[in-house]
Amino acid sequence: MTRIVVLISGRGSNMQAIVDAGIAGADVVAVISNRGDAAGLVFARERGIDTRIVDHKQFADRAAFDTALAATIDTFSPDLVVLAGFMRVLTDPFVLRYQGRLLNIHPSLLPAFSGLDTHRRAIEAGVRVHGATVHLVTPRLDAGPIVAQAVVPVLPGDDPAALAARVLREEHRLYPQVVRWFVEGRVAVDERGGVRVRGEGRSEQTMCVPQVDAG
Ligand code: GAR
């Protein structure tokens, strides 16, 4: 059984999608939040999943917080740590401790739009496609090896909320899929640092999404 600890900061809808996917061979053993009011904690408790709160405001600096967070995570002996809307920048020692078994989802097609406020920035940049990326976490923020991405069109009239909702629907398909691959032992990092998913079929389809005039 692959033991999974999920870290959240808020709504936790990606965590819910992973739990609801009922991935064979996977057990979400704990959900940990840096905020006591994270809505996702309610869902986890209802599902009988262990929850913990490690409040970053109780610690003097990032290093102290990350040390306490890692200590809490390690009580669950996870094989995989999943960042699902966990809105804290992590220190290098934390990231290195879980390297190779630490996944994150980011709401953009990385390396475009790392950081915050991705949907507004994508609209302002005039990109035609946007989406989400699941990557292995390395010390450089939002820059670890990409496992998979989901693409959505940016449509005329989109505001950040509409675009975020379209991306989020894809996040809920993408993240459970990547976790499933990981659990099945199919995610491998090659010699150049890129991720290969063993046994996944290739697609050479081209996507073309112009901004068309309604009239
Ligand atoms: C998701 O859109 C996720 O991609 C994003 O926060 C949201 C969390 O939603 N993550 C980041 O911005 C990380 N930098 P959720 O709590 O409902 O899963």
Q: pLDDT, tens digit, for every residue of 160-212?
A: 999 999 999 999 999 999 999 999 999 998 888 889 998 877 777 777 777 66
Query: Is 106 assigned a catalytic role?
Result: yes
Q: Look at ligand 1, atom 2, and give the residue with the nearest C-alpha.
A: 107
So where are the chain's domains?
A: 1-98, 107-133+145-215
pLDDT at 138: 95
CATH code of the domain occupying 1-98: 3.40.50.170
pLDDT at 200: 77
Measured from the Cβ of residue 105, the count of other Cβ atoms closer than 10 Å reads: 22
CA distance 137 to 107: 15
Ligand 1 atom nearest residue 10's Cα: 16
Portion of the chain with pLDDT greater than 70, in percent: 97
Q: Which of 56, 106, 119, 130 is catalytic?
A: 106
- Is the pLDDT at 81 greater than 70? The verdict is yes
At residue 17's C-alpha, the angle toward residues 136 and 145, to 5°, is 10
Q: pLDDT, tens digit, for every residue of 127-146?
A: 999 999 999 999 999 999 99
Whether domain 107-133+145-215 has CATH 3.40.50.170: the reply is yes
- Is the pLDDT at 92 greater than 70? The verdict is yes
pLDDT at 213: 66
pLDDT at 191: 86
> Which tokens belong to 119?
């949907």
pLDDT band at 214 (very low <50, low <70, confident <90, very high): low
- Is the pLDDT at 215 greater than 90? The verdict is no
At residue 139's C-alpha, the angle toward residues 134 and 142, to 5°, is 35
Average pLDDT, the chain: 95
What residues flank ligand 1, with Cβ below 6 Å? 8, 10-14, 84-85, 105-107, 132, 168, 171
